[in-house]
Amino acid sequence: MKVKILGSGCANCNKLEKNTIDALKDLNIDYEIEHVKDYEKIMGYGVMKTPALVVDEKVIISGRVSKKDEIKNLIKNYS
């Protein structure tokens, strides 16, 4: 699974990244993670507000920090 965190590297972006990693570990899913900070690339996903979570090139969270359990549910429903 390819996972991207979109955002400048602010505290909220880093928190979303940590929660996402924790969720993926709980689900025992192999993943590659990338933190995308380039605004041009972020805009390419149609994201207007960060942080955002992208799984296999699909935006599943945008504009907020989600808790680990919500991320787990979204990923389970996605895969």
The predicted-structure confidence for 40-75, as pLDDT tens digits, reads as follows: 999 999 999 999 999 999 999 999 999 999 999 999
The enclosing domain of 11 has a CATH number of 3.40.30.10
How much is the pLDDT for 78?
77
Of the pLDDT bands very low, low, confident and very high (cuts 50, 70, 90), residue 15 is: very high
The residue written with tokens 């945008």 in the block is 62
pLDDT higher than 70, residue 79: no
pLDDT in tens, 24-35: 999 999 999 999
Q: Domain tally for the chain?
A: 1
Tell me which residues are annotated as active site. Answer: 10, 13
* Residue 47 phi, psi (nearest 5): -85, 125
3-state SS string over 5-53?
Answer: EECCCCHHHHHHHHHHHHHHHHHCCCCEEEEECCHHHHHHCCCCCCCEE
| CA–CA separation, 77 and 79 (whole Å) | 6
Domain housing 62? 2-78
